[in-house]
Amino acid sequence: MSKSRGTVKVIALGGLEQIGMNCTAIEYGDDIIVIDGGLSFPEDSMLGVDLVIPDVKYLKDNIDRVRGMVVTHGHEDHIGAIPYIEKEIQIPLYATRLTMGLIESKLTEHAIIDDVERHVVSYGQVVKFGEISVEFIRTNHSIADSAALAITTPAGVIVHTGDFKVDFTPVYGETIDLQRFGELGKKGVLMLMADSTNVERPGYTPSEKMVGITIDHLIDDNRGNRIIVATFASNVDRVQQIINSAYKYGRKAVVDGRSMVNIINIASELGIISIPGNTLIGIDEAVNYPPEKLVYITTGSQGENMAALSRIASSTHNKIRIVPGDVVILSSSPIPGNEKAVYNLINELEQKGARVVYHDTHVSGHACQEELKLIYALTKPKYAMPVHGEFRHLKKHAELAESMGLPKENVKVMSCGDVLEVSENFFEITGKVQTQGIFVDGLGVGDVGNIVIRDRQHLSENGLMVVSVTIEKGTGVILAGPDIVSRGFVYVREAEALIEECKDIVDEVICFETGRGVTDWNKLKAAVKEALGEFLWQKTKRSPMILPIISEVDY
């Protein structure tokens, strides 16, 4: 049963049983807030799709109660869908400085920045949304200005960690505010929603500064070589350390990749990244320096086709060419599913004579098991709802929560769309809302659905056969055709006998159907597709998409 008024509802619109598309609604009484508005990148089966964003139908249906969106940090899987969401529902945004700077860049790109209400918040600040209030708590992650959230409702306090790690020697800013987590725990935390990404890894996540030391050694050991470092554009701390190492060894840093340039500009304006004088030069200036005096900082560490490093590897970059002796450092780990693309990139670079370094050049921005245990020990939650991860991560996280003393019935492994209601004496899934991801394809948002994707898969696997026929109105006599065009199925010139047999079958089907009085074009097309499909399967064991085009003329 539901206890709506006395409970707080938690509804994940994305981010569960998947990596990315993080978006969660918190609801109490007449007030709803949204945590994050992230996107995910398409799976291999989502042919032609550029992005996948959360379905915000539930928010749209309850827009009169939605008070605002609070954002934990500036990664794409937490902010990438915000422009699309704002076009659907205009809600105020609340975020820290760098996070807001990155969001504003996206809103500007979508030409809606003047339409969106924005508020920059600081750590420790409490924002009130009716009966819900949210406090931003300092954390560490692989991007600066990350925050956890303490969400206070009449039903109790929910702590949402966002993406986090415990870094005692951060490159920028201070360490995670463990004291505040402890204070909340002493007062009483109703439920903890913690990052599950690294829950399978024992121990602690190393400090970001460890990568800086490694890069320092690599630049020192390769003084006679040009160096190219690829990393995530959003990892401002990593970029800072690369620039510091370049300066230390008398090299110029060259930034390449639109997203990298954009984020460095925003971070520099906010004072979050500091560039020593005359260290950073434009890519066109690089020709004025010997190769061994340059460090290129690029995007594309995940093997993305259009990113800078992939274009360099394939010799399609208009400014940079790989030459034997170049040292390429991949300062990231492959995202699950990207391994093949990354290793193909490494092979391509090494075939051109580069030496690729990809071991011990990255540390994660997510908490491992001992850091998660620390947060549980400090907050002492009554309930736990693991977030941010695939099912195996969420399940492992549930086991970790139980190892910290939570009863099994006080931990829920949720799916997107589940409505969890929680209060001091109530902890149940009481409903389900629509949460199917929305596909973004070019300028189209939501106009590509599962049927279109299935057609694209069919076309990619089996090809297309177009059958064109012109018939006389009234009599059904064939005046022209059948003409057959094949794309991705068989090469017509090498399969003339098969094509002729196909024409004969189409001719027979149409004559038979029109001879018994069938004049409905849809029925004629269906008959052609069925007969031709059965014939082609028997002959080739393939099932191309068959597209009959029947024209009718008054002859």
**Helix (H) or strand (E) run with residue 535 in it:** helix 521-540
Lowest-confidence region among 1-5, 40-44, 161-165, 530-534: 1-5
Contact call for residues 20 and 39 (beta carbons, < 8 A): yes
Question: Given pLDDT bands bounded at 50, 70 and 90, which one contains residue 446?
Answer: very low
Quickly count: other Cβ atoms within 10 Å of residue 217's Cβ. 12
Lowest-confidence region among 158-167, 169-178, 373-382, 544-553: 544-553
**Helix (H) or strand (E) run with residue 329 in it:** strand 327-330
Contact call for residues 355 and 321 (beta carbons, < 8 A): no
Lowest-confidence region among 61-70, 85-94, 428-437: 428-437
Question: Given pLDDT bands bounded at 50, 70 and 90, which one contains residue 461?
Answer: low
Strand 444-445 relative to strand 438-441, pairing:
antiparallel
Lowest-confidence region among 36-40, 130-134, 268-272, 475-479: 475-479
Is the predicted pLDDT of residue 94 greater than 70, yes or no? yes
Contact call for residues 256 and 286 (beta carbons, < 8 A): no
**Residue 312 CB burial class (10 angstroms; 0-12, 13-18, ≥19):** buried
Is the predicted pLDDT of residue 110 greater than 90, yes or no? no
DSSP one-letter code for 396: H
Q: Report which listed range, 11-25, 198-212, 338-352, is most confident.
A: 198-212
Question: What confidence tens digit (pLDDT) does each residue in 275-289 have?
Answer: 988 899 989 899 999
Strand 252-256 relative to strand 294-298, pairing:
parallel
Catalytic residues: 195, 366
Structure tokens at 453: 């994707």
Is the predicted pLDDT of residue 1 greater than 50, yes or no? no
Handedness of CA 161, 167, 169, 172 (dihedral sign): negative
pLDDT of residue 545: 79
Average pLDDT over residues 465-489: 74
Alpha helices in 251-367 (DSSP H): 258-269, 308-313, 339-351
Quickly count: other Cβ atoms within 10 Å of residue 520's Cβ. 9
* Percentage, residues of the chain above pLDDT 90: 54
Strand 327-330 relative to strand 355-357, pairing:
parallel
First vs last Cα of the chain: how many Å apart?
69
pTM: 0.80
Question: Given pLDDT bands bounded at 50, 70 and 90, which one contains residue 555?
Answer: low
Contact call for residues 524 and 548 (beta carbons, < 8 A): yes
The overall average pLDDT reported for the chain is 86
Average pLDDT over residues 543-551: 77
pLDDT of residue 22: 92
Long-range contacts of 257-264 (CB under 8 A, 24+ apart): 257/233, 257/298, 257/299, 257/300, 257/307, 257/308, 258/299, 259/233, 259/234, 259/299, 260/233, 260/297, 260/298, 260/299, 260/308, 262/105, 262/233, 263/102, 263/233, 263/234, 263/236, 263/239, 264/236, 264/239
Structure tokens at 476: 């059904």
Residues in the chain: 555
Question: What confidence tens digit (pLDDT) does each residue in 210-253 have?
Answer: 999 999 999 999 999 999 999 988 888 899 999 999 999 999 99
Question: What confidence tens digit (pLDDT) does each residue in 256-276 have?
Answer: 888 888 889 999 999 999 998
Is the predicted pLDDT of residue 298 greater than 80, yes or no? yes
pLDDT of residue 66: 95
Question: Given pLDDT bands bounded at 50, 70 and 90, which one contains residue 325?
Answer: very high
Contact call for residues 463 and 492 (beta carbons, < 8 A): no
Average pLDDT over residues 59-69: 94
pLDDT of residue 444: 47
Is the predicted pLDDT of residue 455 greater than 70, yes or no? no
pLDDT of residue 448: 46
Is the predicted pLDDT of residue 159 greater than 60, yes or no? yes
Q: Report which listed range, 163-167, 486-490, 533-537, is most confident.
A: 163-167
Residue 435: CB partners within 8 Å, gap ≥ 6?
12, 13, 14, 54, 55, 58, 416, 417
Lowest-confidence region among 151-155, 364-368, 450-454, 522-526: 450-454
Question: Given pLDDT bands bounded at 50, 70 and 90, which one contains residue 167?
Answer: very high
Structure tokens at 216: 């320092």
Q: Measured between alpha carbons, how far is 339 from 348 in angstroms, rounded to an integer?
A: 14
Higher-pLDDT residue of 323, 496: 323
Question: What confidence tens digit (pLDDT) does each residue in 171-220 have?
Answer: 888 999 999 999 999 999 999 999 999 999 999 999 999 999 999 999 99
Higher-pLDDT residue of 447, 285: 285
Q: Measured between alpha carbons, how far is 235 from 143 in angstroms, rounded to an integer?
A: 5
Average pLDDT over residues 435-450: 57
Lowest-confidence region among 6-10, 320-324, 411-415, 500-504: 500-504
Contact call for residues 72 and 100 (beta carbons, < 8 A): no
